[in-house]
Amino acid sequence: MGRPGVVYNAGRPHHIQIKNELIMKSSTLFTCALLFFGLSTLAHAGPKADITQLEQDFNAAYAANDLDKYFGYYSDDAVLWFQDGRTDIPSYKKEWAEFIKSGGKIQAGTTSDMHIRFSPRGDAAIASYLLHLTTRKADQSVANEVFQETDVWFKTAAGWKIAHVHYSDAPAPAHK
């Protein structure tokens, strides 16, 4: 016999059918839980992964002296604060193009100690890091330098753009 309204498989014992139903329900719940937590992790990691990738691409364009690609990451009205003071995009483009024409170039560039933070609305990101550069100057001398850089990214209709940069010499490490 069995419970009213429950159809049992004619050839299977009742306890095996109930066990199989429990396994199926448990599997379904477990799969849903994994899917939920997996998607929420992906959603949370997305913007940070985006900014991390943008920083890698931005600094790779800089290290490759690819001026068109490099300046494409900036908003047109970005504010730039360098060792010599504050400047704007048109002035910086002119200065950097003259540096390249004079025979100067970045020979290598890497980043380290990357920290990324977001605004509460997720429409602004701050990336701060150390930038390690090998630079060939116009006089052909080579300098190995480390800079502290902070890039402020705004999410725009055109995607993430750099709205502000602060770039300064990193202090020399203390000798122990």
Domains and CATH numbers, the chain: 46-169 (3.10.450.50)
When the pLDDT of each residue in the chain is averaged and rounded to a whole number, the result is: 86
How far is the C-alpha of 160 from the C-alpha of 155, rounded, in Å?
Answer: 4
- Please list the alpha-helical segments (H only) found in the chain: 14-63, 67-72, 89-101
Tokens describing residue 170: 């990193």
Q: Does residue 63 contact residue 106 with C-beta atoms inside 8 Å?
A: yes
Q: What are the pLDDT digits (tens) for 76-99?
A: 999 999 999 999 999 999 999 999
The pLDDT of residue 167 = 96
How far is the C-alpha of 28 from the C-alpha of 59, rounded, in Å?
Answer: 45
Instruction: Output DSSP code: residue 86.
Output: E
Tokens describing residue 147: 């800079």
Closest CA to 156 of 128, 116, 125, 127: 125
pTM of this structure: 0.73
Phi, psi of 16 (to 5 degrees): -70, -40
How far is the C-alpha of 27 from the C-alpha of 39, rounded, in Å?
Answer: 18
Q: Can you tell me the mean pLDDT for 110-117?
A: 97
Tokens describing residue 5: 């309204």
The pLDDT of residue 30 = 58
